[in-house]
Chain A
Amino acid sequence: MKRFELPCIGDAIATLETRDLYLGYGRRMVVNGLNLHIPQGQVTVIVGPNGCGKSTLLAGLARLNKPRSGAVLLNGQPIGSLPTRDVARLLALLPQDASAPEGITVNELIRFGRQPHQGMMRQWSSKDQLIVENALHAADLVELADCALESMSGGQRQRAWIAMAIAQDTPLLLLDEPTSALDLCHQIEVFELVRQLTNAGKTVVMVLHDLSSACRYADHLVAMKAGRIVIEGAPDTVVTSALIEELYGVSCVLLKCPQTGTPVITAIQPLPHKQQKQQGQTEFVAEEFQC
């Protein structure tokens, strides 16, 4: 694999961990007492069923959700106590619902990534210019640099957002389902880019739905259910059909990809006891209706 290099890439290091973290919305608690240490220089992928709190956790890691109790520690300090601008130089988040100002071009979007490094009196440097141009190259968007973001396809748009996060040049990158809108080819491209970034020393945390991709690209896999970590570790050792059953309530076939050697998961059908429960509920409703 080609080694990814950015001549001006920052070599800042940052550690990220949670201590007994509780996150929630309103009265509902979504993340329940989580202790997580993000391994440096690796790809950490968080998986789990819908509503298990993985996106909430990612937002919490990026200081967007205030902890109910416990803490998110960035370089050992509670993230909420650090100036948000300083945090923005250490940690970039690409949320799922990212939307940009109307009519913005790719170039302008990527330039915004440099904002945390700029000041009122120091608005642009050759380093900024260099990093923006390199981010354009890394995301393969040089030809599209002056296109309006709105006019581009979902895949191109997603690459532009990732390029912006690259231009932010932070040691930590948090990506919330970065490939959800992409076709197979663009998915692979994004994952390869992520891999190259970690090769260059970055730490990446992703939330993914696709288990097979998660197994292939994660160094560290975190499986979550109901706001708790079920298990974490290297994908090969962690992912078993028992785990898939527990997480998603489906029976599955677990294969080893002959090419990459990583687990490939195919869901077969919902587990019987869950089916029964659903049937029971339907019957109950029907009875009520008859009354």
Chain B
Amino acid sequence: MKSMVVRRPSHMAPAGFWLLRLGPWTQLVSRRSFVAGALLLLLLACACLVSLTFGGSRPIPVKDALLVLAGQGDAVSRLLINTLRMPRILAAVLTGAALGAAGCLMQTLARNRLATPGIVGLDNGATAFAVASIVATSTSLLPSILALFGAATAAVLTFALASGSGSRGYRFIVTGIGVGAMFSALTNLMLSQAPIDAANRAYPWTVGSLNGTSAVAIRALAAGLFFGLPWACLLGRQLAAMGFSERVSISLGVRLGALRMTTLAATVWLTALGVAVAGPVGLVALIAPEIARYLAKQRGVPVLNSAWSGALLMVVADWAGRNILSPIEVPVGIVMAIIGGPYLIWIVLRQPDRRVQ
């Protein structure tokens, strides 16, 4: 091998990156993922605007909608936008972002593209708890809060049962599917035994819906994301070395055990927030990171872009659910499943020669 020596670097930053410098602080920003993020945010803004103005019981011209957003406009438009459509769109954006980021974290953690919070049972846990609070008359707790605990319970259970396996994401996934199945059975048992009224009220929690999201819930969700999303982004940087075999990442100075635990905690936090408001729309967590990775063509961990594409997916799915079979409303979880099912098959078909990983 040649021992030619480079004395001055030919570039300041690796190819494809911008180097931001502020005093002693330096940040590397991938150009592709920055552009992808900007594109996703632009699309998200467009989708929100379309969802605000087009469709529903009464279309509102874009001009009027913008007037309302600026604090003006006529009374009817204000009512429609401020109290009906805006909260719903906000809920879609926030839950989508939470679930997208959570999906990205968990896929990286388990080193498997199929390992999303929904598949490893978190959604089912949340649903079971929420349904229990509605069906069992003795509980007066809000279903949202119980859904949060349900997701956490499922995660702790899965992790405890699969522990000792550490690195092997496969074992974690299989355990998660088992735990999820138990919770799902529990949900169905409760629904079959409950009076029809209670079962009806519990129904949105079993499919995932943004109908009738309360303002308090949205505020709580926003507050939770305010901490959760930056946390997830920080973890994303450290998780980049997770793609190596375990020995290599330890050799690179990664504290694997601690990183796994904190990532799992962040995933549970984000998933629980999303599911507590929207119910089990876990497929967002599967598809959003996929879109982010496709756009950025990067090997890193695109947490932020997954959040944006998750938000975009949710807004679009919610809008489609409200309008395609109008006046019947299709819950967003069902729309998501209609998109997500074929997508799963497409992942397998697209890469016959590669492992589905």
Residues of A that sit less than 8 Å from B by CB: 2-7, 59, 62-64, 84-89, 91-95, 97-104, 107-108, 111-113, 115-116, 120-126, 129-130, 132-134, 137-140, 146, 159, 168, 189, 192-193, 196
- Further pairs besides A7-B7, A102-B243: 12, Cβ < 8 Å: A86-B253, A87-B253, A91-B251, A94-B251, A97-B245, A104-B299, A108-B14, A120-B237, A124-B14, A129-B12, A130-B9, A139-B1
Q: Please, which residues of chain A bring their CB within 8 A of the CB of B255?
A: 84-85
- How far apart are the CA atoms of A95 and B249 in the complex, in Å? 11
Does B75 touch A at the CB level, under 8 Å?
no
**Contact assessment for B253 and A116 in the assembled complex, using a CB-CB cutoff below 8 Å:** yes
Stretch from B21-29, B84-92, B150-158, B333-341 that touches the partner:
B21-29
- Contact string, B140-161, partner A, CB cutoff 8 A, digits 1/0? 0000000000000000000000
- How far apart are the CA atoms of A2 and B4 in the complex, in Å? 10
- How far apart are the CA atoms of A116 and B13 in the complex, in Å? 18
**Contact assessment for A92 and B251 in the assembled complex, using a CB-CB cutoff below 8 Å:** yes
**Contact assessment for B299 and A101 in the assembled complex, using a CB-CB cutoff below 8 Å:** yes
- How far apart are the CA atoms of A226 and B3 in the complex, in Å? 39
Q: Please, which residues of chain B bring their CB within 8 A of the CB of A59?
A: 247
Q: Which residue of A lies closest to B301 (CB)?
A: A101
User: Mostly helix, strand, loop or mixed at chain B's interface?
Assistant: loop
Does B193 touch A at the CB level, under 8 Å?
no
Q: Please, which residues of chain A bring their CB within 8 A of the CB of B13?
A: 124, 129
- How far apart are the CA atoms of A50 and B13 in the complex, in Å? 44
**Contact assessment for A129 and B241 in the assembled complex, using a CB-CB cutoff below 8 Å:** no
CB distance from B167 to the nearest CB of A (A): 12
Residues of B that sit less than 8 Å from A by CB: 1-15, 17, 19, 24-28, 234, 237, 240-241, 243-245, 247-248, 250-255, 299, 357
- How far apart are the CA atoms of A270 and B71 in the complex, in Å? 91
Q: Please, which residues of chain B bring their CB within 8 A of the CB of A113?
A: 252
**Contact assessment for A5 and B26 in the assembled complex, using a CB-CB cutoff below 8 Å:** no
**Contact assessment for A4 and B3 in the assembled complex, using a CB-CB cutoff below 8 Å:** yes
Contacts known (A108-B299, A139-B1); A126 close to B9, Cβ less than 8 A: yes
Q: Which residue of B lies closest to A108 (CB)?
A: B299
**Contact assessment for A107 and B245 in the assembled complex, using a CB-CB cutoff below 8 Å:** no
- How far apart are the CA atoms of A4 and B255 in the complex, in Å? 33
Contact residue among A89, A123, A146, A168 (Cβ-Cβ distance under 8 Å from B15): A146
CB distance from B295 to the nearest CB of A (A): 15
Q: How many contacts A-B (CB < 8 Å)?
A: 132
Q: Please, which residues of chain B bring their CB within 8 A of the CB of A137?
A: 2-6
- How far apart are the CA atoms of A5 and B5 in the complex, in Å? 7
Q: Please, which residues of chain B bring their CB within 8 A of the CB of A192?
A: 1
Contact residue among B1, B4, B247 (Cβ-Cβ distance under 8 Å from A95): B247
Would you mind naming 13 contact pairs between A and B with Cβ atoms under 8 Å apart?
A: A4-B3, A62-B251, A84-B254, A87-B253, A89-B253, A91-B251, A95-B247, A102-B299, A121-B24, A124-B13, A126-B12, A138-B3, A192-B1
Q: Please, which residues of chain B bring their CB within 8 A of the CB of A122?
A: 24-26
- How far apart are the CA atoms of A88 and B15 in the complex, in Å? 25
Q: Please, which residues of chain A bring their CB within 8 A of the CB of B250?
A: 62-64, 84
Q: Please, which residues of chain A bring their CB within 8 A of the CB of B28?
A: 123-124
**Contact assessment for A138 and B1 in the assembled complex, using a CB-CB cutoff below 8 Å:** yes
Q: Which residue of B lies closest to A96 (CB)?
A: B247
Contacts known (A124-B14, A124-B28, A130-B6); A99 close to B251, Cβ less than 8 A: no
- How far apart are the CA atoms of A34 and B247 in the complex, in Å? 22
Across the A-B interface, the 8 shortest Cβ-Cβ residue pairs: A101-B243, A88-B253, A129-B9, A85-B253, A116-B253, A95-B247, A93-B251, A140-B1
Q: Please, which residues of chain B bring their CB within 8 A of the CB of A168?
A: 252
**Contact assessment for A116 and B252 in the assembled complex, using a CB-CB cutoff below 8 Å:** yes
Contacts known (A107-B15, A122-B25, A140-B1); A100 close to B243, Cβ less than 8 A: yes
**Contact assessment for B27 and A98 in the assembled complex, using a CB-CB cutoff below 8 Å:** no
Q: Please, which residues of chain B bring their CB within 8 A of the CB of A189?
A: 1
Contacts known (A122-B26, A124-B14); A64 close to B247, Cβ less than 8 A: yes
**Contact assessment for A100 and B244 in the assembled complex, using a CB-CB cutoff below 8 Å:** yes
- How far apart are the CA atoms of A102 and B26 in the complex, in Å? 27
Contact residue among A6, A103, A104, A140 (Cβ-Cβ distance under 8 Å from B5): A6
**Contact assessment for A123 and B3 in the assembled complex, using a CB-CB cutoff below 8 Å:** no
Q: Please, which residues of chain A bring their CB within 8 A of the CB of B237?
A: 120
